Structure 1
Amino acid sequence: MSVLAPPPPAAAEVFGAALDDAIRYAELLATAGVERGLIGPRETERLWDRHLLNCAVVAEAVGPDATVVDVGSGAGLPGVPLALARPDLRVVFLEPMERRCVFLREVVEALGATSRMSVLRGRAPDAGMGRDGLRWDVAVARAVAPLERLGGMLLPVVQPGGVMLAMRGSRVDEELAEARDGLHSQGWREMQVLLCGKDRLTEPTRLVSAVRVADDVGRGGGDRHDGRQRERRGQTAREQQRRARGRACST
């Protein structure tokens, strides 16, 4: 197994006061994560650039004090780096496989972050369906499904006016062009490509951003996050996203 490289200079800027926690998470990925088959052994050489920093800069596209669900979290990417880079966020790792959930719970405990990170075993469509379905301000996903299918998976867990942030590869513009009509029919609007980390990373992180229409027919009233009822914020997720776009560049 490869030795974990030290964090690059950009890590201190991206993670700030949470850099030590980011190092601890990288160590867990390079040891227990590899041993349990959650991440490939060859990935340890590029954990920082390809995984931690690549995921952490998604924070540029998330508004303040948002609730976030990381769908298909796996080993905690992008959710853990995002939560470390943005201590104002409350992040839930939604993952269907128990062995991955066990690892994620260990990560949360090791980072002492139980007040703002939590693990929920399940699948996105199931978690969001029905009157008691769970919803968040922002849903993030990395390498989960083709874009149009992903939109259908994420829609139930995003509250009206909330945002989908889908991490994609170099074909992101083509993917969005191909999926745009399908996403629109599902109920997504304001679809665009965002580039995050342009001034910090050699290769920026590419996101497809879309806003869920404020149409709650058949879903029942009231917002649910982390299984708890809460009052609506004066500032909607849509307004938060517009503020966040000042920090992320649109192509």
Structure 2
Amino acid sequence: MAKTFEQTAPAFLPADKATALALTPVSRETEQRLDRYVGLLGEWQAKTNLVAPSTLPHLWTRHISDSLQLPALALSARIWVDLGSGGGFPGVVLACALAETPGAVVHLIERNAKKAAFLREALRVTGAPGIVHLGDIGDIVDRITGPVDCVTARALAPLHQLIGFAEPLMRRGAKALFLKGQDVEAELTEATKYWKIESHLHSSRTGGQGWIVELDQVERRNGAGKAVGTQV
């Protein structure tokens, strides 16, 4: 017997949403956009693995609130590039949060066609300002023209590789904000083998052992190979 959507839909916890919005408050309009996004993600999750199933009950705190921390670290940023957007964290969440900001747009880069299709639909149903680019990060980054204020990524690659992806945009003045986990210190140590960096670490508001790595300038060390920015 086929299962109905109600039987297969993820069990999002209402209390988790309340906790998330207390940590990272948003306007009523942004909340409504995020609700539409979460509803769509629940429908697509049954056929496309967008997030780890074990995190679904705490989707709002684990994924949405985690993503909503970023705009406060780049208050003047209007043009964002999200590397490896996957299920839309932080890219779609950022687009929802910036929808009322004149001139804002989020470029979402994703190499998986099914996930890219989901991202396009998420932007459509939320009315959020974004552009989905299907392809490898290195190829797409080189094609993005015009100013970029901030580049970000979450759960994509080790830090030294992320810097390699972001470096062309940072040379044009973009700030980098990378969401990382408990191994951030080890990743920073590894990154200094390839890059001269000055980083600022921000502890995640959502608890746990999450961090945000803020980088304003990077410089490749002499002898460091181009492989540090290859596609994962």
- TM range, smaller chain: 0.7 to 0.9
Give, in angstroms, the shift of residue 158 of structure 1: 3.5
The one of 54, 72, 76 aligned to 1:60: 72
Question: 1:118 pairs with 110, 114, 131, which one?
Answer: 131
Report whether the alignment pairs 1:3 with 2:8.
no
Distance 1:63 1:122 in 2: 29
CA contact (8 A) 1:15 1:22 kept: no
> 1:14 corresponds to which residue?
25
* Distance of aligned partners of 1:35 and 1:86 in 2 relative to their CA distance in 1, 3 Å threshold: same
In the alignment, structure 1 residue 108 sits paired with structure 2 residue 123: yes
- Cα pair 1:167 1:208 within 8 Å, conserved: yes
Select between 15-24 and 70-79 the one with higher mean Cα deviation: 15-24
Whether the aligned pair in 2 keeps the contact of 1:191 and 1:210 (CA below 8 Å) is yes
Structure 1 spans left out of the alignment, 5+ residues: 215-251
TM-score normalised according to structure 1 size: 0.72
Q: Quick one: distance in 2 between partners of 1:208 and 1:47?
A: 22
SS at structure 2 position matched to 1:53? helix
Q: How many residues align?
A: 204
Q: 1:95 aligns with which of 102, 110, 114?
A: 110
TM-score, normalised to structure 2, is 0.78
Contact 1:14-1:85 within 8 A present in 2 as well:
no
In structure 1, what is the Cα distance between the partners aligned to 2:210 and 2:27?
A: 19
Tell me, in whole angstroms, the C-alpha distance in 2 between the residues paired with 1:204 and 1:11: 19
Of structures 1 and 2, the one with the larger relative CO (CA 8 A, separation 6+) is: 1
Percent identity of equivalent pairs: 28
**Per-residue Cα deviation, 1:142-173 (whole angstroms, up to 9, x for no partner):** 11111111111121234422211111101212
| Gap change, CA 1:55 and 1:34, over 3 Å in 2 | farther
Secondary structure (helix, strand or coil) at the match of 2:174 reads: strand
**Deviation digits for residues 15-48 of structure 1, max 9, x if unmatched?**
2221111111112222213422222333321111
